Amino acid sequence: MNQIYQTEVTGAGPESGAFADQGMFVLFGEEAPDMLKEFCYFVHVNPVEGEIVPGLGFYINDTRYPITAVGDVAAKNLGALGHITIVFNGASKPHLPGAINVENPGDAFPVLVPGDTLRIA
């Protein structure tokens, strides 16, 4: 398994779970714009070291969520800003240009907490 990205959740805005009912969450580095901060989970900004493609896994700690679609600017935004939207709908077309769509093999929508490790491999 070649890991191409890893970061850690460092905090969360007060409304970071606001999109859970739509099956998605938003990640951003600590420098998130003020108008978005309350809706984001914060992460360390780290480089993406490879191409993000369907078939790879998005991991929250040890749980794998298979990647099904990748937006055109997802990798660029993730590496430069720590910004990405993860959409848990298993769609084969990206929800947004800066989104990664994944399958959710579990029954519950994941909730991030500080200290969680996020990886793409």
Dihedral angle computed from the Cα positions of residues 28, 33, 34 and 35, in that order, rounded to the nearest 10 degrees:
-90
pLDDT band with cut points at 50, 70 and 90 for residue 45: very high
Domains of the chain listed by start with CATH number: 5-120 (2.40.33.40)
Dihedral angle computed from the Cα positions of residues 76, 52, 7 and 89, in that order, rounded to the nearest 10 degrees:
100
Residues 6+ positions from 76 with CB-CB distance below 8 Å: none
Using CA atoms, how far apart are residues 11 and 103, in angstroms rounded to an integer?
A: 24
Q: Which helix (H) or strand (E) holds 64?
A: strand 63-70
pLDDT (mean) for 23-30:
95
Is the per-residue pLDDT at 1 higher than 70?
Answer: no
pLDDT band with cut points at 50, 70 and 90 for residue 105: confident
pLDDT (mean) for 49-75:
97
Using CA atoms, how far apart are residues 77 and 120, in angstroms rounded to an integer?
A: 14
